[in-house]
Structure 1
Amino acid sequence: MVPDTGKTLCADTIRPVNLPEPVAVREDAAGRPLMVALGRRLPVAAIEDCWRVDDEWWRARALSRMYYDVILGSGRRVTVFKDLIDGKWYHQSY
């Protein structure tokens, strides 16, 4: 059971979690990530998985992303994606 903190929950104290964060990524000629800058530049040692998401095509701002689950040179596993509409890269935390 979680102890009661005694604080009242207000709308201004609620914030979204796991929002994508912009990240610098160097790509190869095919658009796959070669290096990810998370504090420091780290080479991509392996791409474990990749998948594309196209959703909400009926909205003014459709969603089109290419996700990559990568292992960095440090051994850390991260998920990055490229927004295929604006061409920017993001890091997705879980």
Structure 2
Amino acid sequence: MERQAYGAISRCFNLEQQMERAKKKKKGNTFSTALVKARTEEMIAIELADEVQILTDWLHNDVFALAGPSHATRLELYDFIVDSLYQLVSLKK
């Protein structure tokens, strides 16, 4: 997810550079639609990467850690994490 977010950032940056060059030739509107779409995809990709990072941190630090919450709490947290990941997958499609 993190690589996808960085890829989206890179695509957005490249389109912004292309648009700046086009503006100098008085053709800046040629990239405006693509740039709006790229910025939306960038925002979504960053949010998804952030959410997945938080969930994997919880999994690592709270569910699988040697010391931590009770077994019942770990099971609840694990179920919550899995459900959240499924929701994120459905958002990505």
| Smaller-chain TM-score bracket | under 0.3
Larger Rg: 2
Task: Please give the TM-score of this superposition, normalised by the length of structure 1.
Answer: 0.21
> Between Structure 1 and Structure 2, which shows a larger proportion of strand residues?
1
